[in-house]
Amino acid sequence: MTRARGIVLAFVSVVGAGTMAAGPVEQSTVRIEKTADGYWFIEKDTKVLFYQAERKALPDGRAARSNYFHPLYDLDGNVVTEDFPQDHIHHRGIFWAWHQVRIDGKTVQDQWVNRDSFWMVKEAKTDADANSASLALRIEWESPLFIDASGRRRPFVEERSVTRVHRAEGVIRKIDFHQRLTTLVEGVEIGGSEDAKGYGGFSYRVVMPADIRFTGAQGTVTPIENAVAPSPWMDVSGTYGTSGKSGLAVLTHPSTTGFPQPWILRARSSMQNAVYPGRHPVAIPRDRPVILRYQVVLHGGELAPADIERLQAEYARATVPQ
């Protein structure tokens, strides 16, 4: 498959959970198409990324989940994310989740394994400019363990996210993932796994080739059982399909809560995670949202650390959604 180039498209916006409204025709290189289950980001005739808005499960009903991205394609058309992998069926593409979600000390969700976890899309809007397209979402977290007087699930966190796919430029494509978590009730806490690993937060389950290699701001990184040292960025590279070397770098914006964050890294049968907050739950104050802002950089070939540092510096200076 050839790498994506520009295209003229008709721009649409989405108001509410799935109501299509016609918008002005604009010159854009990336478009978004709505489906029954979510939204495709497409450049020219090439699919780039899919957002799963509706609940999806295995045929037997296990591991039902939504609010994640899969598949993600690299610039040569290889799928680089995984969904429902046999070793961890709860893993899914690119997502953000926590084992510990509590209200007033009571556990109401384990988002990591999709237990008691509902992500309800209340509003979705698309936009486009000459170089990118974005999907803005307003989502409410709900659990059957937190209900109102009528027995209905009561929303307790509002998640506002903006995901922007940029057009491919040479051997690079940038994708922004920005989340803002605001509590709707008092006493909400989130935390990672309760063991020393403490994994939780922005996560990505990617295909792991035999020659996978990790590089951070301090150089080559060797995965260990627990989190490795904080780094503003982390690159995963290897041989994908028959296209030779390529990779995926994740950059962290300095406004991200807990910046710079430690990383859980795995070379086999697992996933990668920018860790926040770790094993000990933290409260989300009603007047101070949790901010998670990352830029995924897909690259053909191997990207030199100096080039990733330059991209990180550019991203750090970028204006991001508030």
Phi and psi angles of residue 254, each rounded to the nearest 5 degrees, phi first? -60, -20
Q: What whole-number distance in Å separates Cα of residue 31 and Cα of residue 19?
A: 17
Beta pairing partners, 46: 43
C-alpha–C-alpha distance, residues 308 and 215, integer Å: 10
pLDDT along the chain (322 residues), means of 10: 31 34 56 98 96 97 97 93 96 98 98 98 96 97 98 98 97 97 98 97 95 96 97 94 85 97 95 97 95 97 95 94 70
Range of the domain at 82: 9-206+262-291
* Assigned domain for 250 exists: no
pLDDT on residue 131 = 95
Q: What is the pLDDT of residue 294?
A: 98
Spatial separation of the C-alpha atoms in residues 244 and 280, rounded to whole Å: 41
Q: Is there a domain that residue 1 lies in?
A: no
Q: Look at the chain and report how many structural domains it folds into.
A: 1
Query: ω before 59 within 30° of 0 (cis)?
Result: no
Between CA 263 and CA 222 the distance in angstroms is 11
Listed in sequence order, the DSSP H helices in the chain are: 305-317
Is 157 within the bounds of a domain? yes
Give the three-class secondary structure for 107: strand
Answer yes or no: is 136 within a domain.
yes
Provide the strand spans (E) within 16-168: 19-26, 30-34, 38-43, 46-52, 68-72, 94-97, 100-103, 106-109, 118-128, 132-142, 157-166
Q: How far apart are CA 54 and CA 120, in angstroms?
A: 9
Residue 68, in any domain of the structure = yes
The answer as to whether 249 is a domain residue is: no
Which distant-in-sequence residues (6+ apart) come within 8 Å of 163 by Cβ? 49, 51, 69, 134, 135, 137, 175, 176, 177, 178
- How far from chain centre, in Å, is Cα 192? 16
Q: Are 100 and 108 in contact (CB under 8 A)?
A: no
Q: Would you say residue 106 lies in a domain?
A: yes
CB within 8 Å of 279: residues ≥ 6 apart:
191, 192, 193, 194, 195, 196, 197, 198
50 domain residue, yes or no: yes
Quick check: 161 and 178 in contact, CB under 8 A?
yes
